[in-house]
Amino acid sequence: MAKLDPRFTFENFVVGPANRLASAAARRAAERPGVSYNPLFIYAPAGLGKTHVLGAIARHVAKVSPEKEVEYLTSQEFLREFVQASEVRGPDEVRERYRELDILLVDDVQFLTAQADVQDLLLLTLDTLTGDGKQVVLTSDRPPAGIDGLGAHLRTRFEGGLLVEIGPPEYETRVAIIKKCLEIRLQFVEPGVADAIGRSPIKTVTELEGALERILGIQAREDRILSPEEVTALLEGGVPTDSDLKGSEMGHFLDELSDTVAAKVQAQEAPWRRALRELAEEVEAEEFDASRLRRLMEEGTQPGDLDGMLRGFRGAIRRLKEIRTHLEAAGNPWPEAAHGVLRDPERLDEAEALLASAEERARPFPEVPPGPILEELGGELPRLVIRAADRLVSTERPEYNPLYVWSSDGVAARVLLQAAGRSKLQEGEGIRVALISVPSFSEEFIQALSMGVAGAWRERWWFADLLLVDGAQDLSATERAQEELFHLFEALQRRGARVMIAADRPPTEIPAVDDRLRARLEGGLVVEVEVTASDLSPEFQETLRMSVPSPEFPKPEGKDTSTEDRDWIRSFQPGSSLGPEDSGGEEASASPEAWVPSPEKVIWEWPRLEDRIVEELD
């Protein structure tokens, strides 16, 4: 790869109205090669930053994705390689070499117009790379339609991607470029000098840099700072070229003192400016952004509470390093976004938010409690519902999705739901089973909203292989959770993931449910589990009680085994309510064999407000 100026980075590229689109497109190509604009064709007259953009792409990819192969070539180098290949290897071998690249950057393609064979090679190379999803970025001093001698096929190929023009910088951008150059060179000029250069009749970035070099050279030779008026007068004659400077007194002076100017300027620095510069150089060596410090250095007075500001800046750098470590531990799901945020202390709040989102996205799903798997439910639940659950979780393409199971007390449906989750987990490592109740899902969503990580919270659920939702009857007490579950069901089914839902009633009997969600609940298979808790064998109930001990429901004393098992299984899920039918009715309660829940297990509900009012009689 041809050598690129190390200063050619996105951070050093001053963005203005004339080059904003080119900068954005180049960043996009660097962060997501081959996805959006392919090829990306940037054109502009000489000296407006085309090569800077190519260098910025190459350096950004090297930092963010060092495993990717990037090649930068000038048109002359491309031509030279073609000539050598024709004599030794052949064009096909050159094209095969390019096939191994992830990003190809070719500068000044307008010089290839007179070489028909080279154009054919470039066309084949473009087809090969773009066909493989690789990124190609080309630059020229004119649009494809304005390049004389360009073959029709190649012109069509150039125009098939995104054409972006870079125009001359306007006044504000010219001033910003001068200030950025001063920042990079660690040089200083009197306030107003950058404005004076910006107002001069200079059109290109290269000429701006040449004008600045002339100003700095005179200041170093005469050991004084030029005023804005002197700079304006000096630039009225235009900017001298390299040939104009060669052999002149200023040219000899610059050659002799190029290694000592920076040291001389530093020796004249004020202590506060030196402290800022030293810290800036320290953090820049670690690839952190020191723009804030550089801006303070340009000011004419010492900032207030300098020591406190420096301590705060160092603290921000330390915290960014900690966040980087935590992000890596969380898998860093957004490396492109993290790269820019993690190196800029002024974006510390963004880095904190990024970490919170990454940790939320990586948070593990609630574990399925231990207990029986589907094949161990034989004899306890109907074989039909066991087979339906097994086909959902084990078949490569199940006939129905979601599977909605319900039982009159909700217990048997919940037992089946959790057994399906355990069976799915036995398929091997990496299986992601998410088990949650509707109330817990709603509470998690509210918490994610309050913490500002709702997007990451959603993404976390999208990657489940099997989603188990318990207590669908509680959907009537939610609003936003219904919408979130609907979109989650849609996303999971697009991925081919499975969804199973348990409730104590069929979907048609759940009130206040959005029509779209109700249709989704009924869109697969709805099965009733015609078993209640009391139908489960005492041995099976004991197995469940031993596998999922619950301190909130201690084993009662003074009861026979069957009674306490029934008591426990009805409290299998904290929050389940017991209605009048659970006590067996008046007829059942009159029998000495009837089961009556303990008072602390009973929840009375008054649907109407007037039923709660007790009138005191005189």
Residue 103 exposure: Cα atoms within 13 Å on the Cβ side: 30
User: How many Å from the N-terminal Cα to the C-terminal Cα in the chain?
Assistant: 100
- pLDDT of residue 18 exceeding 60: yes
CATH topology of domain 20-165: Rossmann fold (3.40.50)
Does residue 419 carry a pLDDT above 90?
yes
Give percent above pLDDT 70 in the chain: 79
Compute the half-sphere exposure of residue 372: CA atoms within 13 Å on the CB side of its CA.
20
Q: Which CATH superfamily is domain 374-535 in?
A: P-loop containing nucleotide triphosphate hydrolases (3.40.50.300)
Residue 49 confidence (pLDDT) above 80: yes
According to the model, what pLDDT value does residue 396 have?
85
**Of 46, 47, 107, 40, the residue nearest 79 (C-alpha):** 107
Only one residue has tokens 């995104």, namely: 162
- What confidence tens digit (pLDDT) does each residue in 279-330 have? 988 888 888 888 888 888 877 788 888 889 999 999 999 999 999 999 999 8
Give residue 519's pLDDT: 92
Q: Which CATH architecture has domain 171-261?
A: Orthogonal Bundle (1.10)
State the pTM of this model. 0.47
- Mean pLDDT of the chain, nearest integer: 78
User: Which pairing describes strands 135-140 and 525-528: parallel, antiparallel, or unpaired?
Assistant: unpaired
Residue 103: strand pairing partners: 70, 135
Domain ranges of the chain: 20-165, 171-261, 271-362, 374-535, 538-601
Question: Is residue 74 over pLDDT 80?
Answer: yes
Of 259 and 477, the structure prediction assigns the larger pLDDT to 477
pLDDT by residue (tens digit) across 562-608? 444 434 333 343 333 333 333 334 333 333 333 444 444 444 444 44
pLDDT at residue 237 tops 90:
no
Residue 86's pLDDT band, with cuts at 50, 70 and 90, is low
* Residue 48 predicted with pLDDT over 50: yes
Task: Categorize the per-residue pLDDT at 62 as very low, low, confident or very high, splitting at 50, 70 and 90.
Answer: confident
Cβ–Cβ < 8 Å for 234, 214: yes
What are 462-497's pLDDT values in tens digits?
889 999 999 999 998 887 889 889 989 988 988 889
Q: What is the pLDDT of residues 130-179, one digit of tens each?
A: 888 889 999 998 888 888 777 777 888 888 888 899 988 887 788 888 88
Tell me if domain 20-165 and domain 171-261 are identical in fold. no
In this prediction, residue 95 carries a pLDDT of: 66
The residue ranges of DSSP E strands in 389-428, in sequence order, are 403-406
* Helix, strand and coil in the chain, % to nearest 5: 55, 10, 35
* Residue 41 backbone dihedrals phi, psi, to 5 degrees: -115, 115
What pLDDT shows up at residue 92? 64
Query: Model confidence at 434, in pLDDT bands (50, 70, 90)?
Result: very high
Q: What are phi and psi of 380, to 5 degrees?
A: -105, -40
